[in-house]
């Protein structure tokens, strides 16, 4: 299995957008990519704990990389990466809705944004036990399977009501336009 440091070094040696950037920086500065990566991680960690705009940084980390690899997944022929990133976005969406209601209280906790960022990194981690898979399989999927018929029924009723309302508005607008046209003809 190897130590955490060895696994991190192995990750840094694999080709990817991030490691290519680190390789370019290593060639330009002469500083090894391991030190560049650990320095960047340390800086980001401290910034998330004490810096201004930690919310923005955390949201960028949780959105930019997953959006990029989601686009790559869409363009690839492999279905597994599509499923992996679609699962991430479902969990991300549920998390954002839950956070909307709890953020007012949670952001007062020390290191909240560091914890949130770690949670999002865990959700996008390229391992089988990442947060997206665990939360989807253990929480979201069972909830969905239990309640999806009720939700489908409500959505169907709402879409029917919205369609009826749109038809009524269109019909009334047409009548009003015809009446306005007749009114303007009488004034001529």
The DSSP line for 50-80 is H-TTHHHHHHHHHHHHHHHHHHHHHHSS-HH
Q: Is residue 171 part of a domain?
A: yes
The region of weakest confidence among 3-7, 97-101, 181-185 is 181-185
* pLDDT (0 to 100) of residue 184: 55
* pLDDT (0 to 100) of residue 178: 79
Spatial distance between the Cα atoms of 132 and 143, rounded to a whole number of angstroms = 15
2: confidence class by pLDDT, cuts 50, 70, 90? low
pLDDT digits (tens, 9 = 90+) for 174-186: 887 777 765 555 5
Q: Is residue 6 part of a domain?
A: no
Q: Is residue 17 part of a domain?
A: no
Q: Is residue 157 part of a domain?
A: yes
Q: Between residues 14 and 150, which one has the greater pLDDT?
A: 150
For residue 11, give the nearest of 133, 135, 121 by alpha carbon. Answer: 121
How many other C-beta atoms are found inside a 10 Å radius of the C-beta of residue 124?
19
Structure tokens belonging to residue 156 = 């169907």
Is residue 81 scored above 80 in pLDDT? yes
169: confidence class by pLDDT, cuts 50, 70, 90? confident
Q: Is residue 28 part of a domain?
A: no
How many other C-beta atoms are found inside a 10 Å radius of the C-beta of residue 64?
10
Q: Is residue 14 part of a domain?
A: no
Is residue 17 within 8 Å of 72, Cβ to Cβ? no
Spatial distance between the Cα atoms of 81 and 73, rounded to a whole number of angstroms = 6
Q: Is residue 149 part of a domain?
A: yes
Tally the domains of the chain.
Answer: 1
Is residue 31 within 8 Å of 50, Cβ to Cβ? no
* Domain that includes residue 167, residue range: 128-187
For residue 19, give the nearest of 42, 39, 36, 1 by alpha carbon. Answer: 36
Is 0.85 surpassed by the pTM of this model? Answer: no
pLDDT digits (tens, 9 = 90+) for 11-64: 777 777 778 888 888 888 998 888 888 888 888 777 777 767 777 888 888 998
Spatial distance between the Cα atoms of 21 and 124, rounded to a whole number of angstroms = 20
Q: Is residue 87 part of a domain?
A: no
């Amino acid at each position: 299995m190897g130590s955490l440091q060895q696994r991190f070094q192995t990750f840094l040696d694999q080709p990817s957008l991030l490691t290519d950037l680190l390789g370019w920086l290593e060639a330009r500065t002469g500083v090894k990519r391991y030190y560049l990566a650990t320095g960047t991680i340390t800086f980001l960690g401290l910034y998330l704990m004490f810096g201004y705009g930690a919310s923005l940084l955390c949201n960028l980390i949780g959105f930019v990389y997953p959006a990029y690899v989601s686009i790559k997944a869409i363009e690839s022929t492999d279905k597994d990466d599509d499923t992996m990133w679609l699962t991430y976005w479902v969990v991300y969406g549920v998390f954002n809705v839950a956070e909307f209601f709890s953020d007012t209280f949670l952001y007062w906790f020390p290191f909240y944004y560091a914890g949130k960022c770690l949670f999002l990194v865990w959700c996008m981690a390229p391992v089988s036990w990442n947060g997206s898979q665990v939360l989807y399989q253990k929480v979201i999927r069972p909830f969905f399977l239990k309640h999806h018929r009720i939700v489908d029924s409500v959505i169907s009723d709402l879409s029917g009501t919205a369609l009826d309302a749109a038809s009524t508005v269109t019909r009334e607008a047409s009548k009003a336009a015809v009446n306005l046209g007749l009114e303007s003809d009488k004034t001529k």
